[in-house]
Structure 1
């Protein structure tokens, strides 16, 4: 996907925020699963 002009700054910030939030949620989910497994 190529455009004539580079993507605006806010688009990059939105992508970074989405990726960061996704990674944080994934880490929290893994931590929660590990806690459940450790309890048993």
Structure 2
């Protein structure tokens, strides 16, 4: 199991998703980004 590759692709997906959301709705994008960061710190 290649955790590094899976983790990297997951982070890339989140970054892309966050960027798309921020482009559509800046406030929503920021909220999602903060949730991801907080979730990663906790988990």
TM-score scaled by length of structure 2 = 0.54
Indicate the residue corresponding to 1:22 in structure 2.
8
Deviations 1:1-40 (A, max 9, x none): xxxxxxxxxxxx3xx1000000000000000000000116
CA RMSD of aligned residues (A): 1.3
Q: Which has the higher helix share?
A: 2
Unaligned runs of 5+ in 2: 27-43
Query: Looking at CA atoms only, which structure, 1 or 2, has the larger radius of gyration?
Result: 1
Q: Which runs of 4+ in 1 moved over 2 A?
A: none
Unaligned runs of 5+ in 1: 1-12
Indicate the residue corresponding to 1:34 in structure 2.
20
Length, aligned pairs only: 26
